[in-house]
Each structure stands twice: as structure tokens, then as C-alpha cells.
Amino acid sequence: MLRYVFTHRLCVSKTQPNFFHFFRNPIVTKRLHLQRTPLARLLAISFGATASLFIAPGAYAQTSSPDAAQLQRVEVTGSLIRRISSEAALPVTILNVDELQKSGVTNAEQAIKFITQQSGGTVTSGSVSGTNGAASYANLRSLGEQRTLVLLNGKRVAPNPFAVVGTDLNTLPMSAIAKIEVLADGASSIYGADAVAGVINFITRKEYKGGSVGITTQATQQGGGNVTTANVLGGMGDMANQGFSLVGGINVRDQKSMRGDQRSFSETSYQPQNGFNGTSPTAFPANYSQAGTVANANPYAANCEPPGSISVPELNGTRIRCFADTQIYTNTVPVQDQYSLFLRGAMALGADHQASVEYFKSYNHVRTMIAPSPEGGLTMNPTSPFYPGKGITPGNAALNSTLPISISWRTTALGSREGEQMNNTQRLTAGLEGVVMGWDYQASLLTSNSKVENFFLNGYPTTQGLRNGVAGINGVAPVLNPFGPQTAAGAAYLQSIQVLGKVQDGESKLNSFSAQVSRPLMKLSGGDMAVALAVESRKEEMVYNTDIVKVSQAASSGLAGAGALRQGSRDISALSLELTAPVWKELELGFALRSDRYSDFGSSTNPKFTVRYQPSEAVLLRGSANTGFAAPSLYQLYLPNSTTFTGTRYNDPVLCPGGVPTATAVPSRDCGLQFQQLQGGNATLEPEKSNAFTIGFVLQPSKSLTFAVDYWNYHLKNQISVIGEQTIFGDPAKYANLFVRCSQAPADRRAALGACQIPGGDPLAYIINTQLNLGDSKTNGIDVQANWAGAPTAYGRFTASLRSSYVLQYEFQVEPNGKWFDPNGKYSPQFGGPVIRYQQVSTAGWESGTWSALVTHKYQSSYLDQNTQGAPFNVPQFNTNMVAPYSIFDISASYTGFKGLTLQAGVLNLFNTDPPFTNQTSRFQARGYDDRFHNPLGRTYQVSAKYTF
């Protein structure tokens, strides 16, 4: 919450306590003079507003008269009271989208990477190994994406129905967005439940005269992941002079895919030099076992079939199996197409009122590729022509050739599993605003919906079809060869048993009415005491459909056993109050209160207190305290259960404890495997609660330099999350109730799981890893910001800025009153990753005439790695790995010497820095790096042109 703050008070109260006389000392004031510049009048927010790190250099050259301070009252993110922006009492950071684009930003997901309080969260590449509706979410303070509220023009957007945790960043209409305001402070007292960590408000242009056409292309030096964007923006009218305004924009973005093997750091899942083995024992050629004779074997283990199948030594050094190295099949950057349309019209209704209508529609299409389907628990009978030793497949003397064998096979003959997810989101709002009898008022109606469809395009064979074709049962000849090339009959059979087409769809709906009024209430010593009242009523709905007939046939989809239909809805009503009281000219107190009533969870009332003290033009002190409330989302309550593989290989704690098979174990089924985990919603969840406070100061020692420091502190209670696979397997005795054996699994799930088809003991079917109310989370830290704008010189004007966030503490519990875990600066299995201790974004800018240049530096600190490798890599050489710091430089230059034309060229990741190595396994398809924090594209060249008319 460190913000650049440009204060506006010019007087010091004679009633000020003696403690603050220090700041009235003329020597101190002279050294810490806080100049009231034009920039201050435009961007200052006295309780914590910041100038953007990317304010255009030209902004510093503006001039205005003293009367310019009498600015029109405007809306400020995080407040109900309309006021001059420099008098707002909220911590808002402002990012200039035009300048972000010079640093390679082409969509909202990339834009939030420049917010240093943002860390982790769901990214689009996560859809490669999941069914999240191709969504991307913000995550302020690492407190969870469901606790960060993302708005468009101060209003909500229907969430992605495959997650329903918040606004999907991939749906926002970037062509019309002018700036991004970030309130990194608890805001439940204004916005309600899901603003526990803060608010990110994407703000569009309200007026635009003329038109513009722009195109940007980004080409990676090493190939893959190229991006092309094009946009058109147009508008007419002027509310102040013409009484109307119209704005419209269209944006198109296309990103090509990049496979894992297109980068050296992720080309293989087996990196012995780093002590990392992310391969899978379900491979082609298939591995097999036979109870009582052969534990693990592969007829082609000496060579396998690289690069997709490699020979990896066992613990004793022998090479008896093949392991799948899936990076050649996986697009770590998926194909993504985004289209958006934005329209806005406003008209004056007399001198004091205006009506407006706003509409946007967006389309997000993501196409993914992951490794070919893994199928375990297949049985091959001795009657198969492909049975080892029958003439086609090499034999094994240890086999009993009269008995069947159990096979683990990956269907590479079908190629990668390919899918696509398509999201169509739209929102329509209609509003009235104006002034009645001294009251500013606003009223609006909103309707929004988001529809997502999930399709299988290739590579998902029916489980029973594979069983039939390998075993030669149910009237099917044994035509499938899991050890070598398919015959024409086998290839045709594989194609015939694929599951194709739409397998899931969902829709979320949001309808709301809101109204608010505000006005000065009375005169105080420091100015007008202002009051605001607001009401809101909204309805949230979600429905989620799964084609059970299709998905139940394809175990590798992870959707077998999911409920056919899950749906839910709720009604929410709220009443809010806000007061600001300038007690003295130097001291302003603020108070806000919001009471929410949920039809499914009852009521909650949350206050917020703020204080701003400015003893001189050079110094500002500020602080806030608030409580928060977060009801479980419809996603957390009603998401259908589905199974997927764990990210890490484990041993069955009953049949293979410590990696040692028991008498009834089947090693290829029970030891060193990625088991299934059940994920989904939980209708018994309870709400979360939170407390937060901040305290800080701002100094401006000269008119060109501003420096700010803020301390922040959050405490979440009864938080909603998942325990995590590593925690569950790490203490199987404690979490024994979360291990489901095949004998305990529902019949439909049991039939779809290969492990349950192999005789011997009672195999592990899956672990339960659904949403639960866990313990508390606590985090605190310091934000620092600095901004410098030099005077014009013969060589042009120079600017520099820095924004950083340092996490002092982060700890959490995985159960009420349980043990505290610390992910700060270290990978935590219970947390599912690290909390980045220190993040920084800094810029250096230059402008001279028609030329300008910008250098941007992004930095993330190192952290202790996951370091949970199994033997033989569980030695100090490898299990104490530190993930190196990540430091990236971007440069760009712009030229505006041609009328109406802006040309820009730049290099992103100037030094072609690879993501630092990490041995994490929670990011299932990102091997060797973590896509939540690090960009795999490498050096990228950017060229853009924009014509304005």
C-alpha cells in the first residue's frame, strides 16, 4: 500500500499538539517541502494515492493556473463520496495502460504483473492441465484470488462459471481501458465480502474524440508463443460542451502455442544434473507386471522411445522400465484467441443529470495440448499376439506365459490429448447520476453473464475400449499393441474409441441494482464533513453441466464420476455508510460501515476507520483499520467433483509404505506413482472473517522527489482452501479419512479407475482434496515507493520510479488451532507454492521532442525450493536447492514525428533470462520452472504502430 501521495493542505492548525511542532520547524519544512504541482492536483490522493510507475513523461510538463485546483469532483476507487481526487482518503495506486503497453502488456493478466502486491494466482497456462474455464485471476498479498475483487468501471462482472472466484481477467475489454486503479487494502466496508485483500478497478475511457487504429506484434527469439494484437477505438461528443459522448472499441489478440521442449530449461522432465525427475511410469512402450513373477518390466527398457519415452535407472541402478517424458506433447503456453467489444454512450438530462449505457462482450478461446492418455490397470491375456514372447514382443523368462499381465500404457499413437475451452462474457449497465438538492446521486442496473464450454478434440480414448482392445474381451479382438507400432486395424480401432465433442458447459449470471448518495453534511474546522449512503441488491447464479455419458468413458479426463448437474444461487442485499471528517486542517478522520445479508449465510457488518494527518506540506502520516467477511463462493460450494492426477509421485501408505511393497502390493500400481485426487466443492463450508490495518508516511524532500513507506497487516480466520496433496500424503495417519480405497469408492468412479482393475490387496482409488474450512492466515509487510521527475535539460526530460513490496511474515494453518506453516521465501507443500518475499518494479524514462524511451526492470527474490525429491535425489546436493532471483529488463523507444502516427519498438527480456530452475511438481505441466511467477518466452521483439485521426 505504498502510494505516491501529493498533499494539498496549505495551512497548519494552531491547535495542533506540540508533538508535531517539529514538522512546522522552518528548517525541516524547507528540506521536506511538498510542492503542490499540477501532477499533484491531478493524481494525488491525500490518504495514499500513487502516481503510476508509468506516467507518461509528458504529464510532468503540463501547466495550469492556481484555479486548476478547483477540479470537478470525481469517483475514487474505494470511496462512496465524490470529491476532488487530491482530497480522497484511500490508498489507490494508478497504472497507465498506454505506458504498460510499452513494456509488452497485451492483456489484463500481463498488466497485473506490474502490481508488486500481486503474487501467484491462476494463470491461463494453468488450463493446460486443468478445466478452469481458461481463466486467469488476480491475487493481492498472496491471500487467495477469491479475496481480491476485480471491477470494471467500479462494478462487478459475472465470474467464470468453472471457478466463480472472481472476475476472469481474460474477459476484460483492453482496447477501451485507460488506467488501472489498485486499492491494496481491505475494502469489505465499501464493496462487500470478496474485497478482503483489496480491489483492482479497470477503468475505461468515458470520452474519446476521433479514432485510432493500432497493431502490435511480438516475436520470440527462440520461437513459439508469438503474439499479435489489433485494436480500433473511436468516439465523439463532449459532455461538458455538447451534452453527449459516445465511445466504442474493438480488440483482437492472438497468441501462438509453445511446447515445453521448445525451451532448454523445460525440454525434459528428467534433469539428473538438478536432481529432478518429473517423468511418469505410465509410458509407451508400456510397462508391465505379473503377480508373483515380474514386479516391473518393459521389453524395450534398454532404449525405450525417446524423446517421449526414456530409460531412467531404478534405485538399484538397473533399467527395467520406460518413463514418459511428456514435454514434447505439452504446450506450456497454449493457443489463445481473445476478442472484445466495448460501447458506451452518455447524454446530459438538463444541467445536473445524465444518463449512460455501457455494454461489453468478450470472447476467450484457449486450445491446450497435454501428454497422451495414461491408462493403468489394463490386462493383456496370453492369447494376444502382442503378449511378450509370442513372436512380436520380446519375451521375459520370468513370466508365467499362461497368466495375464497388468499393463500401464500411454496411448502415444493417438497423439496429445487436445482440448479447447471457450468463454463468452458480456455485461450491460444503465445508469443515472447527477445532483439533487445538494446531494450527488448515482443509480444503476446491471446484468452480466459468462458462458464457458469445454471440448475434447483428440486423444481421449474410452477406458473400456482400451481394456477390450488389449485383453480381447467383450467381442473385441486383441488388436491393440501397447509395446510397439499399431497395425492398421489397431490404429483404426484407437480412432474409433475416442471421446470427442463438448463434455462440459457452465453459465454464471449476475443481476444487480445499486444506488448511492453523498453530500457535505456540516462545516468543521478543517472543511466540510461529508456523508454517503449506498444500497445494493444483487442475485448470483451458476449452473455447471457435465456430459456424464462421455466423461465416464474416459478416465484420463479426470471427469469420470462428476455429477451431471450442479447449480446454485443466492440473493445479497447491502447497506453502506461512509463519513469523512476534517477535524482540523491537518487531520481528517474517516469511517465506513457496510452490512451484507446473504440468503444462504446470514448477515455480516464490517467497519473501516481511516486517519490522515498532514502537519506540513512536506509530511503526511496515514493509517487505517478494517474488518472483512467472505462468504463461500458458489464455485466453492457447488463445483462438481472430479479427479485428476497428483502433481507429485507418492507411495501408497498401506500397500507400499516408504516405497517397500507389502505381500499383497503390485509395485507398478502402488509404488512411486501419481495417484488420483478428488477435487471440487463442499456445500457445508462456513464464511471467513478478517482483520487488517495499515500505517505509513509520505515525504517529499523536493518538488521532483517523493518517497513513501507503509506497513500493512492482515489476519484471516476460518479460511477456505484445500489441505493439499503433499500434506495429506505427508501424514497419512492423521488424514486417514481422506484416503479412499477401491472397496470404498462409488461404483462409477471405481469402474473408471485403472488401479481398481488390478487384483491384489485393496488399492488406493484416490485421496479427497476438496474445499474445506481450515485455520487462520497472518501476513504483514512493508511497501516502499519512490518517484523522481527531473527538470527539462538540453538532453530532454528524465524520470525514474520504483515500487516494491516486502513480506515480513506469512504464516497459515491447515486446520483450526493447528500447527502454523511458513511459506514466506520458501516453497510450502501445504501452501502449494511459495510466497515471494520481495518484489520490485522500477522504471527509467526519457523524453525529448518526438522521441521517448522507457526501461523497465522487474525483480523477484529467491526462495527455498520444494525439495521433496525421492531417492536417489534426496541428498543435500539437491534437496537444499534455492530458486534463484528473477530479474528481467524491458526496453522500448517511441517516435511521434509523423502526424497522427506513433511508432514503437522494443525488446522484452532484453538479456534473454531463463526462468530460474525449480524442482516443484505442483505445476503439473510446467517442468523446471513455475509459470505462476516466471515467464518462459525469453527474449521477445515488439513492434507496434498506432494511427490517430
Q: Please state the pTM of the whole predicted model.
A: 0.87
- Whole-number CA gyration radius for the chain: 30
pLDDT at 260: 93
**CA 58/CA 346 separation, integer angstroms:** 29
Q: Say which residues have a Cβ less than 8 Å from residue 142's Cβ, sequence separation at least 6.
A: 119, 120, 779, 807, 810, 835, 836
Element (H, E) at 782: strand 777-789
pLDDT at 83: 61
Work out the number of other CB atoms within 10 angstroms of the CB of residue 291: 17
In this structure, is residue 889 part of a structural domain?
A: yes
**Average pLDDT estimate for 21-41:** 37
pLDDT at 881: 95
> How many helices (H) and strands (E) would you count in the chain?
14, 45
pLDDT at 643: 79
pLDDT at 559: 73
Work out the number of other CB atoms within 10 angstroms of the CB of residue 823: 25
Q: Can you tell me whether residue 511 is helix, strand or coil?
A: strand
Per cent of the chain over pLDDT 90 is 67
In this structure, is residue 629 part of a structural domain?
A: yes
What torsion, rounded to 10 degrees, do the Cα atoms 785, 791, 793, 796 define? Answer: 50
Q: What is the pLDDT of residues 378-411, one digit of tens each?
A: 999 999 999 999 999 999 999 999 999 999 999 9
Q: What is the pLDDT of residues 77-100, one digit of tens each?
A: 778 886 654 444 566 788 988 889
**CA 677/CA 130 separation, integer angstroms:** 13
In this structure, is residue 481 part of a structural domain?
A: no
In this structure, is residue 327 part of a structural domain?
A: no
C-alpha cell recorded at residue 147: 479475496
Query: Given pLDDT bands bounded at 50, 70 and 90, which one contains residue 218?
Result: very high
With 90 as the cut, is the pLDDT of residue 823 above it? yes
Q: Say which residues have a Cβ less than 8 Å from residue 657's Cβ, sequence separation at least 6.
A: 651
Strands 258-259, 244-255: pairing kind = unpaired
* β-pair partners for 12: none
Kindly give the interhelix angle for 463-471 and 488-496, rounded to the nearest 10 degrees: 160
Q: Which domain CATH number covers 252?
A: 2.40.170.20
pLDDT at 129: 64
In this structure, is residue 302 part of a structural domain?
A: no
Beta strands, E only, 184-306: 198-204, 210-220, 227-238, 244-255, 258-259, 270-271, 276-277, 287-290, 294-297
In this structure, is residue 491 part of a structural domain?
A: no
Between residues 50 and 171, the one the model is more confident about? 171
pLDDT at 30: 38
DSSP state of 757: G
Residue pair 706/727 in contact (Cβ under 8 Å)? The answer is: no
pLDDT at 64: 35
DSSP secondary structure letters along 468-487 = HHHHT-TT------SSSPPP
C-alpha cell recorded at residue 572: 445479497
pLDDT at 2: 33
C-alpha cell recorded at residue 135: 481463466
Query: What phi and psi values does residue 29 have, to the nearest 5 degrees?
Result: -60, -35
Q: What is the pLDDT of residues 244-293, one digit of tens each?
A: 999 999 999 999 999 999 999 999 999 999 999 999 999 999 999 998 88
Any idea what the Cα angle at residue 181 is, between residues 178 and 185, rounded to 5°?
170
Q: What is the pLDDT of residues 116-152, one digit of tens each?
A: 999 988 888 887 766 678 899 999 999 998 899 999 9
- How many domains would you assign to the chain? 1
What distance, in Å, lies between the first and last C-alpha atoms of the chain? Answer: 39
Q: Maximum CA pair distance of the chain?
A: 102
Residue pair 672/659 in contact (Cβ under 8 Å)? The answer is: yes
In this structure, is residue 728 part of a structural domain?
A: no
Element (H, E) at 784: strand 777-789
**CA 565/CA 21 separation, integer angstroms:** 68
Nearest CA among 62, 70, 116 for reference residue 93: 116
Q: What is the pLDDT of residues 431-481, one digit of tens each?
A: 999 999 999 999 999 999 999 999 999 999 999 999 999 999 999 999 999
DSSP secondary structure letters along 17-45 = -GGGHHHH-HHHHHHT-----HHHHHH--
With 90 as the cut, is the pLDDT of residue 755 above it? no
In this structure, is residue 480 part of a structural domain?
A: no
Residue pointed to by grid coordinates 524511451: 853
pLDDT at 432: 97
With 80 as the cut, is the pLDDT of residue 45 above it? no
Q: What is the pLDDT of residues 680-713, one digit of tens each?
A: 888 888 889 999 999 999 998 988 999 999 999 9
Any idea what the Cα angle at residue 863 is, between residues 858 and 864, rounded to 5°?
160
Domain holding 833, by residue range, is 38-63+75-83+86-259+334-368+421-454+504-637+686-721+774-948
DSSP state of 601: T
Element (H, E) at 700: strand 688-702
- 299: preceding bond cis by omega (within 30 degrees): no
Burial class for 857, CB neighbours closer than 10 Å (0-12, 13-18, 19+): middle
DSSP state of 463: H
Residue pair 682/636 in contact (Cβ under 8 Å)? The answer is: yes
Residue type, position 239, single letter: M
Residue pair 231/252 in contact (Cβ under 8 Å)? The answer is: yes
**CA 573/CA 605 separation, integer angstroms:** 12
**CA 211/CA 188 separation, integer angstroms:** 39
**Average pLDDT estimate for 161-168:** 82
pLDDT at 81: 81
Distance of CA 552 to the CA centre of its chain: 30
**CA 618/CA 6 separation, integer angstroms:** 9
Element (H, E) at 622: strand 619-630
Q: What is the pLDDT of residues 792-803, one digit of tens each?
A: 999 999 999 999
319: left (phi over 0), alpha (psi -120 to 50) or beta: beta
- 385: preceding bond cis by omega (within 30 degrees): no
Nearest CA among 197, 243, 224, 218 for reference residue 345: 243
Per cent of the chain over pLDDT 70 is 90
Please state the length of the chain: 949
C-alpha cell recorded at residue 41: 492536483
With 50 as the cut, is the pLDDT of residue 37 above it? no
Task: Name the average pLDDT for the chain.
Answer: 87
C-alpha cell recorded at residue 217: 506484434
Residue pair 349/440 in contact (Cβ under 8 Å)? The answer is: no
How far, in Å, are 275, 276, 306, 924, 936 from residue 270 at the CA level? 8, 6, 12, 14, 18
**CA 52/CA 706 separation, integer angstroms:** 12
Residue pair 224/262 in contact (Cβ under 8 Å)? The answer is: yes
How far, in Å, are 2, 387, 390, 675 from residue 402 at the CA level? 74, 11, 12, 30
Q: What is the pLDDT of residues 544-601, one digit of tens each?
A: 888 888 888 887 777 765 666 778 899 999 999 999 999 999 999 999 999 999 998 8
Residue pair 717/687 in contact (Cβ under 8 Å)? The answer is: no
Burial class for 488, CB neighbours closer than 10 Å (0-12, 13-18, 19+): exposed
Residue pair 461/415 in contact (Cβ under 8 Å)? The answer is: no
Query: What phi and psi values does residue 40 have, to the nearest 5 degrees?
Result: -60, -45
Strands 676-679, 764-768: pairing kind = parallel
Between residues 80 and 611, the one the model is more confident about? 611
Q: What is the pLDDT of residues 634-654, one digit of tens each?
A: 878 887 777 778 877 899 999
With 80 as the cut, is the pLDDT of residue 35 above it? no
Distance of CA 582 to the CA centre of its chain: 39
Q: What is the pLDDT of residues 62-81, one digit of tens each?
A: 333 334 334 455 677 778 88
Residue pair 605/597 in contact (Cβ under 8 Å)? The answer is: no
**CA 885/CA 655 separation, integer angstroms:** 41
